[in-house]
Amino acid sequence: MKTDSKISIKRARESDVDKFYPFFEKSVKTQFPPYSNLITDYFLEEEYPKDYLKESIRNKNKFLYIANVDKQIAGYLLTNKNYGGISYATWFAVFPKFQKKGIASSLLLEWEKDVAKHGGHKLYLWTVKRNLEFYKKRGFTQGGFIPDAWFGKTTRYMFYKTLAKSDEKKFLKEFIKKKKGR
């Protein structure tokens, strides 16, 4: 999806992970200030090592949307596949020099279109206080919060966005096809 003459958003393939991963490492270490070095090392070594990310994208369990500006990675959004019509964003970052240029909004829009195309009806994510207005302005609704959240770091706020009325025939479309083919 082209958003203007400089910004492009694409859904990554497994082959894109090698080029992307250094940017992911840098963002995890620099853009999530509540997390200590020990926690960021844990994320990168235990939860999201490069091979796991490649395998997850290959198996379509995770989707990675990458924003490029003049062929340079500017930001990304990592999500889980739809489950029961709902898709969850796990990591979302735009590098500081590219912020406030519509990149985050473009990444969210691409995710939204992709989820809707595959029968999903809701998006959800967790965020920190400084991002509350950003998500509200983009049609998300706050659904709750957890004080002293994961790894004992800061309050996290849950947001969701309804894309359509839920319809099991839409989000189970592939399963229904398989079942009829038996």
Q: What is the CATH number of the domain that holds 58?
A: 3.40.630.30
SS3 assignment, position 89: strand
Q: Quick check: is 164 in a domain?
A: yes
pLDDT, residue 8, reads 94
Radius of gyration of the chain (CA): 17
Is 15 part of any domain?
Answer: yes
For the chain, the domain total comes to: 1
Give backbone dihedrals phi and psi of 67, rounded to 5 degrees, phi first: -100, 130
Closest CA to 138 of 127, 149, 147: 127
In a domain, 90, yes or no: yes
> What's the pTM?
0.91
| pLDDT greater than 80 at residue 39 | yes
Between CA 94 and CA 48 the distance in angstroms is: 18
Give the chain's mean pLDDT: 93
**The predicted structure's pLDDT at residue 3:** 44
Cβ contacts of residue 38 below 8 Å, gap of 6+? none
Is the residue at 165 inside a domain?
Answer: yes
Written as one string, the DSSP assignment of 122-133 is EEEEEE-GGGHH
> Per the domain annotation, does 1 fall within a domain?
no
Residue 173 pLDDT: 84
Answer yes or no: is 44 within a domain: yes
pLDDT at 71: 87
Q: Is residue 2 part of a domain?
A: no
pLDDT of 2: 42
Judge whether residue 23 has pLDDT over 60.
Answer: yes
**Model pLDDT for residues 118-162, shown as the tens digit of each residue:** 999 999 999 999 999 999 999 999 999 999 998 887 899 999 999
Residue 152 is assigned to a structural domain of this protein: yes
**Hey, what's the torsion of the CAs at 46, 35, 124, 94, to 10 degrees?**
-100
